[in-house]
């Protein structure tokens, strides 16, 4: 029980520090890709408009703007993880995410991570 409480406190602190604490109505209004990113810990390393551990989603969109191969590249990167594109910190693999969820997140990111 003590570990579960500690884990919950850590999750709440992380959520608060990354801007994930808000009303349920606000979360329900968010784009599908953003909701999936939030539910899969993407926001622990990425923010919409500023660098955290990894680049912001808007930086990613800018880097891949006009690249017709970007969706496939980023889907593979989310699924398999990797390092070296944005520095030395590796991106972990997200093998448990469904392909549909990964595509939704990648599409949202490449659209510039719009709030709605």
Cβ 81 vs Cβ 90: under 8 Å: yes
* Residues composing the chain: 116
Q: For 25, phi and psi rounded to 5 degrees?
A: -65, -40
Whether the Cβ atoms of residue 107 and residue 60 lie closer than 8 Å to each other: no
* 68 within domain boundaries: yes
Q: Domain for residue 76, yes or no?
A: yes
5: in domain? no
Q: What is the pLDDT of residue 23?
A: 41
CA dist., res. 80 & res. 65, Å (int): 22
Look at residue 16 and tell me if it is in a domain.
no
Rounded CA-CA distance 70/65 in Å is 8
In a domain, 45, yes or no: yes
Please check whether residue 78 lies inside any domain of the structure.
yes
Is 60 part of any domain?
yes
Domain count, the chain: 1
Q: Which domain holds residue 43?
A: 30-110
**What CATH number is associated with residue 78?**
1.10.760.10
Widest distance between CA atoms in the chain: 50
User: How confident is the model at residue 26, as a pLDDT?
Assistant: 54
Task: Decide: 73 and 38 in contact? Cβ < 8 Å.
Answer: no
Q: Rounded to 10 degrees, what is the CA torsion of 104, 108, 109, 111?
A: 140
Residue 70 maps to a domain: yes
Tell me the pTM.
Answer: 0.76
| Angstrom distances, CA of residue 5 to CA of 10, 24, 35, 57 | 9, 22, 24, 31
Give the pLDDT confidence of 21-61 residue by residue, as tens digits: 444 445 678 999 999 999 999 999 999 999 999 999 999 99
């Amino acid at each position: 029980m003590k570990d579960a409480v500690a884990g919950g406190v850590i999750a709440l602190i992380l959520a608060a520090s990354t801007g994930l604490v808000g009303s349920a109505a606000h979360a329900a209004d968010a784009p599908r890709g953003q909701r999936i990113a939030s539910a899969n810990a993407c926001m622990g390393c990425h923010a919409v408009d500023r660098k955290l551990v990894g680049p912001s989603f808007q930086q990613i969109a800018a880097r891949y703007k006009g690249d017709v191969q970007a969706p496939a590249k980023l889907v593979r990167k989310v699924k398999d993880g990797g390092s070296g594109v944005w520095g030395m910190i590796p991106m972990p693999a997200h093998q448990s995410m469904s392909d549909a969820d990964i595509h939704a997140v990648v599409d949202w990111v490449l659209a510039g991570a719009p709030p709605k």
